[in-house]
Structure 1
Amino acid sequence: MAKSIRNDRLQLGVCYYPEHWPESLWSDDFRRMREMNISVIRIAEFGWAILEPEEGNFRFELFDKAVDLAHEYGLQVILGTPTATPPAWLTEKYPEVLNASREGVLFRHGMRRHYNYSSAKYRELGNRITAKMAERYGNHPAVIGWQIDNELNCEISEFYAEADHAAFREWVRNKYGTLDRLNEAWGTVVWSQTYTDWGQIYLSRPNPGQSPNPHLLLDEKRFTSDNAISFAGEQADIIRAAAPSQWITTNGLFGRLDNHDLTEQHLDFFSYDSYPQFATIFPEGGVEPLMDRRWGASLSNVRSVSPQFCVMEQQAGPGGWVNRIEMASPRPGQLRLWTYQSVLHGADMVLYFRWRTATVGTEIYWHGINDYHNRPNRRVRELTQVGEEFTRLGELAAGSEYKAGIAIIRDYDNQWDAEFDVWHGPLNGQSVKSWYKQLQYQHIPADYLYLKNDTLVEDLLRYEVLVYPHPAILPDERAAVLEAYVRQGGKLVFGARTGYKDIHGRCPMRPLPGPVAGLCGITVEDFTLIKGTVEAPLLQWGAALENVKTTGGNEIRAAGFNDILSVEAEDVEVTAVYASDYYAGQPAMTKRKVGQGEVWYYGAAFSEPVVDKLLEWLGLESPVKEWLTLPKSVEMGIRSKDGQDLIFLLNYSGEPIAAASSRPVKDVLTGNMLHGEISLPAYGVMVLEQ
């Protein structure tokens, strides 16, 4: 069972840095927090140089005062282990703790996350400061929990120090046991790469083509994840021994880290840092981009780890680094909107980053709730409103679960393989974006579901429909679980290039789509990349295989990549064919009923019109369609507990919108009863209770 935060009410918090501010400000800060219904602070995650200014000289006075004073004001405290920012004395005295680029250039002091997880000395010193802190605060009545490090693998997720090469060598030796097995897995017979001694093995290194062995590279990413998990696990074990009544988490998501395994092995629940405006810095292409609304997809990823989680850092103002502001000031209502976006998707504790904007350092443009002048502003007033609303919503929402009838499947093997196999990543990105976007616009709540080696069919049967867009790597064991899901009544949708690699990233000599060819009742007769001067072919589909057109009359094309399908089983229904190019008339999409369920295969990347058609055929509709009419700009989602649904309506538009309810409903945030026409202001939020 997934691990979740166990709150009996929603809680608001804030990240606070007592070391940055005169002690004379602390009491006023804590008083104002309580007036805003803020009840939790996170401190110390960057405080190693304060806690241990010289090697072996531990100084707790500053944080003792801060924790004690927080307790006086009724604030609970989350402590961060400070290993994301080693002090200068440490990196100067022990350069072996530093991370390095693939070229072997060391990363030096002056930023953060410039250490490597493999250094025995860094683990020793990091574990020591963790132990000292746990001994000091493990029984403090204000301290409720711990954050391990800060944003593991943020800034950089590649590690090439000498200690990392040695640790990787040991990792592959434990995994494969013999060089023969390693050589087989990595296909080293190609280009005379065969290893004859363990000492010849390194992480990927520079070479003339900058093209490392792809199978080695896939294992390199698995090693990086395991190494980070081991690093965090040592700290977690220390804290758990000294502070058994305090919970342990860490904040992510970042690259090359299996957050599910990390949480299962070492944490009580997972936490996240939510900055929706990143989606406006790097907006998706196409018509009607989801923008900050797209951030719900990231929160859905977190929910797949912990159904109820903590947002350790919630965006509280405009953002940027020391030399630039990248994010505009949140418009009136957006901070409240983003807070409820997090709550809808599973956050039972939300901490804003940060209480007051830094006046020095790298983050002087990364604004908090309060500005430099420390006087009341509209962000303070807006979040004070949220604090008041949490007193009404808190017990109703806490512990409730997000309700979804469809899930988009993901897995780490394909995620990591797609970093190097660069055509596959964008293909999958387009398909996932198309599914998530159209589900949003049709007000159909969706989950992300990570497929793991220990996933059971019972984990899948919670969903009416599963979409696995492009699982290039698909081991037989996972395919068997998917087949059991279909046979027991599930509807499963695959996309192009399914199942053409094994767990090592090799291409087996078997017909595509590999281990699910028999389930789908098809094979891939031919295939082609759609790129450059190659035009995507038109589609035809339906009972009469008519030309597919959008509502605007534009013909739909099969984008990205085309698998040309061959029907192998008599009960396969061809639901679409290619209507142009040399394979015109050949199957593009198929459906097959298997047991009590059905499996679909589409030989291209999913586009928005194709998703709309599939949703119609799959019979998926909004769970509130019969009584609630909503415009596309509104996200609708449901959190449910003990048979009681809370229906969240989030307006991402800068304009007021009109909705309509044919049933009497109560807006929990205001206590008002609503029936008939409903008005939501720009960036407005409602939480309805029937």
Structure 2
Amino acid sequence: MHKRLQEEKVRLGVCYYPEHWSEEMWENDFKRMKDLGFTYVRMGEFAWTVFEPEEGKFTFELFDKAIDLAWKIGLKIILGTPTATPPAWLTTKYPDVLNVSQDGLTIQHGERRHYNYNSKNYKRLSSIIVTELAKHYKNHPSIVGWQIDNEFNCEINVFYSEADHTEFRNWVINKYETLDKLNEAWGTVFWNQTYTNWNQIYLTRKTNQNSPNPHHALDEKRFISDSVIAFAKLQADILRQHTSNQWISTNGMFGHLDNHRLTEEVLDFFAYDSYPNFGRIIEDNTEKPLRDRKWSWNLSEVRSISPNFAIFEQQAGPGGWVTRMEQPSPKPGQIRLWTFQSIAHGADMVLYFRWRTATKGTEIYWHGINDYHNQPNRRIKEVEQVSKEIKQLENKIAGSFYQAEAAIVLDYNNQWDGELDNWYGPYATKSKEAWFKAFQYNHVPVDAFNLTSESTIEEIKQYKVLIYPHPAIVTKETATLLETYVHQGGKIVFGCRTGYKDKTGQAYMLPFPGYLANLTGITIDDFTRISPFEPIPVVNIRNGKTFVADDFNEVLQVNNRDVEVIGTFDNSYYQGKAALVKRNTGAGTSYYFGGVFDIQLASFLLLNELKMNNHNHLFEIPENIELAIRKKEEKNYYFLLNYSDNDQEIFLKQKMNNLLKGTIERNKVVMRAFDILVLEEMTI
């Protein structure tokens, strides 16, 4: 069961660090926050030394004053546990808490996230500071919730301290029980890697070609995820021992962490830190780059963790550390656009980062709402506009759910295995992005869906269409589940390099696509990677359309009469052979493409085969506009987001209420640069 944030209204807030500013500034800051319509203030996540200046000596005076003052002015507090930045006294006295690189270099004190999760000293000292905070603030009326740590696995997501090696050894003993089982799972007979004593087991270490045993490396990522979850649970358990009326969350979504398990087992809901301008500076040479619109995919992944979630850091200014002033300032309208982008995808709480740009430290270029000078600016005016508009939505949006009839399927095993496996890891990323672009530019809302061994038919049958481009690891149980889904009416799309590995990452001694051969009705007759100097093969579709088939090709062998060949290869030695097929099974359909998807092929399949253009009766929308839908009590709310710096024309095919203007919209509506619309269906 997904956990979710429960708010009666969409709420705004801001991140604030009272320890960075003189006490004389606090009251004015808090009053201006209140005047802006903010409800929440997030603080404390980097203040361990303020709370515990010496080991065992605790002081809460600074934060008591700040929190009491915020409460007096009418603000609520989200308090962070400060374990993301262990103090200098701690790392000096207990150097075993520091993280270590794979080649043995200790990560020294001086930035943040320089600790490891498995140091006994760090777990003990973290437990103490969290306990003291919980005891002190458990009954404070202003504190509504806790943020555990900050951005787990940000900056670095691998850990090789002695404590990590030791705990990993215990982890594999618990998982495999015998060395024979471990050796079988890791395929250690290859290259004479067989282990004969548990003391020979370590996390992966530096090798000649930096290419470790892939099955060992896959388990390493599972272990890292388990370590994070255990560390978070350690803190959550303490907090819950002392309070039952304050919720628990954390922020992030970084690598080598099963955020779904983390949320299910530890948190009350999940929170994300949204910085869409990263999407505008990431070099994207692909067709129709998404830029800041790419963050809608990130938010879709967050929504798969918590259908309703919080944004603990919403970008409010140009970003950059002192080592990299990299992001441009949000253009007029973009802060508003990005706020509603988060809300459209399921956020019921949005906190801006940060109240005022820091004048010291690594993040002196990571700008907040206020500049150094603390005088009025256009960003403040824009946030003020957003706050007024949020109030106009009243309680209509909060608690509503994003609506999608299709999902792009993700799973951690394939994601982690694909990091090392360049046969399919990059293909999976490329195809996922191509499909998301196809959904976005054709205005078809789409979810991310996390597929696990515990997933049920009830969970996946909520979607008419599943896109699962290149899952190399597919167990027999997963294949059976997907067969049931298709038999009951679902449509599913696969791409090349599907289904040939088991859960350890070892290849089946079965024809590709392994246990999915029965569902798809095909096996792989031949395959090849396309070299840069070769002519690029193309796929001829039966209606005369052609699509490129670069990167990787599989020649499909049709094994069942009911398999329909939609496309064949051309411009290659396997000319005329099957490239794209469909098979009707029961009430549903499976598709298999022996290649890597691009936006053209994905769009063709989306509109012509999957028939996912079900909002054309409501709108005519240009590509630069995103359509998102949230639903509550059988009523749909349509979010239209303009990512262009030019005016865009929308054509409505029925009258709708404009919730932000209190007007009725009909026919043509002009959206200005970076503008947004929130439309409500009218009762007929």
TM-score normalised by structure 1 residue count: 0.98
- 557, 574, 593: which one pairs with 2:565? 574
Q: CA deviation at 1:58?
A: 0.3
Deviates more, 1:658-667 or 1:172-181: 658-667
> Would you say the 8 A contact 2:85–2:113 is kept in 1?
yes
CA distance in 2, matches of 1:183, 1:239: 40
2:125 alignment partner in structure 1: 125
2:633 alignment partner in structure 1: 642
**For 1:111-190, what aligned pairs fall within 5 Å after superposition?**
111-190=111-190
CA distance in 1, matches of 2:534, 2:247: 55
Deviates more, 1:329-338 or 1:660-669: 660-669
**For 1:25-64, what aligned pairs fall within 5 Å after superposition?**
25-64=25-64
2:101 alignment partner in structure 1: 101
1:10 alignment partner in structure 2: 10
In structure 2, do the counterparts of structure 1 residues 284 and 620 end up closer, same or farther at CA, with 3 Å as the change threshold? Answer: farther
Cα deviations by residue, 1:511-566 (Å, 9 ceiling, x for unpaired): 110010011111001100123223331111226xx3x24xxxxxx21122111010
2:322 alignment partner in structure 1: 322
> Would you say the 8 A contact 1:15–1:313 is kept in 2?
yes
Amino acid across the alignment from 2:197: D
> Would you say the 8 A contact 2:535–2:571 is kept in 1?
no
CA distance in 2, matches of 1:53, 1:491: 59
2:85 alignment partner in structure 1: 85
CA distance in 2, matches of 1:680, 1:541: 37
- 579, 582, 585: which one pairs with 1:594? 585
- State the secondary structure of the residue aligned to 2:262: helix
- State the secondary structure of the residue aligned to 2:637: strand
CA distance in 1, matches of 2:563, 2:614: 30
> Would you say the 8 A contact 1:283–1:289 is kept in 2?
no
Q: CA deviation at 1:617?
A: 2.8
1:617 alignment partner in structure 2: 608
1:493 alignment partner in structure 2: 493
**For 1:343-362, what aligned pairs fall within 5 Å after superposition?**
343-362=343-362
Amino acid across the alignment from 1:439: F
CA distance in 2, matches of 1:76, 1:642: 29
Give the share of equivalent positions with the same residue, in percent: 52
Cα deviations by residue, 1:651-688 (Å, 9 ceiling, x for unpaired): 00001111111211111011111111101110001100
> Would you say the 8 A contact 2:607–2:613 is kept in 1?
no
Amino acid across the alignment from 1:364: I
Q: Does 1:606 align with 2:606?
A: no
1:65 alignment partner in structure 2: 65
CA distance in 1, matches of 2:534, 2:237: 56
> Would you say the 8 A contact 1:559–1:607 is kept in 2?
no
- State the secondary structure of the residue aligned to 1:396: coil
Q: Does 1:334 align with 2:316?
A: no
Q: CA deviation at 1:243?
A: 1.3
**For 1:210-289, what aligned pairs fall within 5 Å after superposition?**
210-289=210-289
2:550 alignment partner in structure 1: 559
- State the secondary structure of the residue aligned to 2:396: helix
Amino acid across the alignment from 1:580: N
Size of the aligned set, in residue pairs, is 681
Cα deviations by residue, 1:287-341 (Å, 9 ceiling, x for unpaired): 3211101110000000000000000000000000013310001000000000000
Deviating runs (4+, > 4 A) in structure 1?
A: none
2:653 alignment partner in structure 1: 662
Q: Does 1:653 align with 2:644?
A: yes
TM-score normalised by structure 2 residue count: 0.99
> Would you say the 8 A contact 1:346–1:401 is kept in 2?
yes
- State the secondary structure of the residue aligned to 2:478: helix
CA distance in 2, matches of 1:74, 1:177: 56
Cα deviations by residue, 1:72-116 (Å, 9 ceiling, x for unpaired): 111110010000000000000000101000111111110000000
Cα deviations by residue, 1:589-625 (Å, 9 ceiling, x for unpaired): 1100001101000000011111121112334334431
CA distance in 2, matches of 1:210, 1:286: 29
> Would you say the 8 A contact 1:11–1:394 is kept in 2?
no
**For 1:467-546, what aligned pairs fall within 5 Å after superposition?**
467-542=467-542, 546=544
Q: CA deviation at 1:281?
A: 1.7
In structure 2, do the counterparts of structure 1 residues 623 and 541 end up closer, same or farther at CA, with 3 Å as the change threshold? Answer: closer
> Would you say the 8 A contact 1:468–1:492 is kept in 2?
yes
Amino acid across the alignment from 1:511: P
> Would you say the 8 A contact 2:465–2:610 is kept in 1?
no
CA distance in 2, matches of 1:581, 1:542: 18
1:672 alignment partner in structure 2: 663
1:553 alignment partner in structure 2: none
1:302 alignment partner in structure 2: 302
Deviates more, 1:676-685 or 1:279-288: 279-288
Q: CA deviation at 1:479?
A: 1.3
Deviates more, 1:421-430 or 1:254-263: 421-430
Amino acid across the alignment from 2:654: R
2:369 alignment partner in structure 1: 369
CA distance in 2, matches of 1:115, 1:463: 41
CA distance in 2, matches of 1:341, 1:359: 29
1:462 alignment partner in structure 2: 462
Q: CA deviation at 1:350?
A: 0.3
